[in-house]
Amino acid sequence: MHIGKIFEKNKTAFSFELFPPKTEEASRQLFDTIKDLTPLELAYVSVTYGAGGSTRELTHDLVVRIQQETDLTVVSHLTCVGSTREEIYKILKKYHDSGIENILALRGDPPKGKEHFVPEVNGFSYAIELVEFIKECFPDMGVGVAGYSEGHPETPNRLKETEYLKAKVDAGADYICTQLFFDNRDFYDFRERCRMAGIEVPIVAGLTPITSLNLMKRMAEFAAGTRVPSGLLRAISRAENDECVKDVGVHWATEQVRDLIDNKADGIHFYTLNRSDATLQIYKSLGVTSSRKLL
């Protein structure tokens, strides 16, 4: 289903993110996770994308398998990293021919060991160019772009950041999905600034519960600029072990979800890290068994 229709039929669209497994065992575990989460009646799933050739194939294989073996709508990530326009076109055509209707268009992070992003010769320098290319070559595909509630780490000027985001929407982006955040006030401020700038597409809130101290440290690395509020840090500091840290993280995320629903968020996107337990606990804590009962 086209992502635009998903937002039309859902007051708040619930979704989750997966990344491609690299082993047969990891693949089995991932589909166990999908099986566990499917009863939640989520609107769609997204699949992350790696720049390397083998990782690209893993992404494509997973996206097609989900498309063929489940009733879930899939959004495949696509980045500008390490690809020419011709290569991007081939990837898009492969998806299009496989029935994949939606793409999350990202510039992507620099490859490991590189400090700055450098586009390929005859490649794309910015996500907006990728959005324009998708809409030009495959106008029937739905396209999402990333947003940063706490500000893009490479764009300290928040006014410019909003201008760049609006340009991506004007180029054809159908929705915005934010980087993860832990303070809903940051999301509401971001959403209000977007609306003031004339950005009217759905804005999806990206969440993940902290389930261990190690995960919190990893988040500080892969989600640059994400702020952990002092109240959450205080609660985590009182936790006696990782099981208690998980209880704290799930409780905090549950309150975020409840508040976002009450404040009419267009969507809530769970960064699941390929695990179902924390997301299922959030639903249990809210006293429901499916997304529809949250609304």
> Among all chains, which residue has been given the structure tokens 């989600």?
223
Segment 80-109 shows an average pLDDT of 92
Q: Is the pLDDT of residue 32 over 90?
A: no
> 53 in a domain, yes or no?
yes
* Distance (Å, whole) CA 285 – CA 274: 20
Which pLDDT score is estimated for 108? 82
- For residue 217, the enclosing domain spans 3-285
84 by DSSP, 3-state: which? strand
Closest CA to 146 of 247, 210, 233, 224: 224
Give the whole-number percent of the chain exceeding pLDDT 90. 63
Averaged pLDDT of the chain: 90
Cα separation values, 218 from 93, 211, 215, 222, 281, Å: 35, 11, 5, 6, 22
* More confident call, 276 vs 139: 139
- Active-site residues, by number, are 17
pLDDT beyond 60 at 52: no
CA-CA distance, 140 to 93, in Å (whole number)? 12
75 located within any domain: yes
Q: Which residues pair with 142 in a beta bridge?
A: 102
pLDDT(116) > 80? no
pLDDT of residue 201: 98
Using CA atoms of 53, 57, 59, 62 in order, give the dihedral in degrees to the nearest 10.
-160
The answer to whether position 295 is within a domain reads: no
Q: What is the CATH number of the domain that holds 65?
A: 3.20.20.220
Element containing residue 270 per DSSP (H, E): strand 267-271
Confidence of residue 119 (pLDDT cuts 50, 70, 90): confident
Instruction: Tell me what pLDDT residue 209 has.
Output: 93
**Distance, CA of 211 to chain centre:** 18
**Looking at the 3D structure of the chain, how many domains does it have?**
1
CB contact set of 117 (below 8 Å; sequence gap of 6+): 80, 81, 107, 108, 109, 110
The pLDDT assigned to 111 comes to 65
pLDDT for the residue numbered 60: 82
pLDDT band at 84 (very low <50, low <70, confident <90, very high): very high
Is residue 277 in a domain? yes
The two three-digit tokens of residue 193, written as one number: 């600034």
What pLDDT does residue 62 have?
A: 87
- Residue 146: per-residue pLDDT: 96
pLDDT tens-digit readout, 155-189: 777 888 999 999 999 999 999 999 999 999 999 99
270: alpha, beta or left? (left if phi > 0; alpha if psi -120 to 50): beta
Q: Average pLDDT of 95-123?
A: 84
Instruction: Lowest mean pLDDT of 11-25, 111-125, 178-192, 269-283, name the range.
Output: 111-125
State whether the Cα torsion 168-170-172-173 is positive or negative: positive
Does 19 have pLDDT greater than 70? Answer: yes
Residue 59 lies in a domain: yes
Compute the distance between CA of residue 201 and CA of residue 166 in angstroms, rounded to an integer. 10
The SS3 assignment for 65 reads helix
Q: DSSP assignment of 129-185, as one string?
A: HHHHHHHHH-TTSEEEEEE-TT--TT---HHHHHHHHHHHHHTT--EEEEEE-S-HH
Question: Which tens digit of pLDDT belongs to each residue from 275-293?
Answer: 889 999 999 999 888 888 8
- Whether the per-residue pLDDT at 153 is higher than 80: the answer is no
Q: Residue 74's pLDDT is what?
A: 94
pTM: 0.93
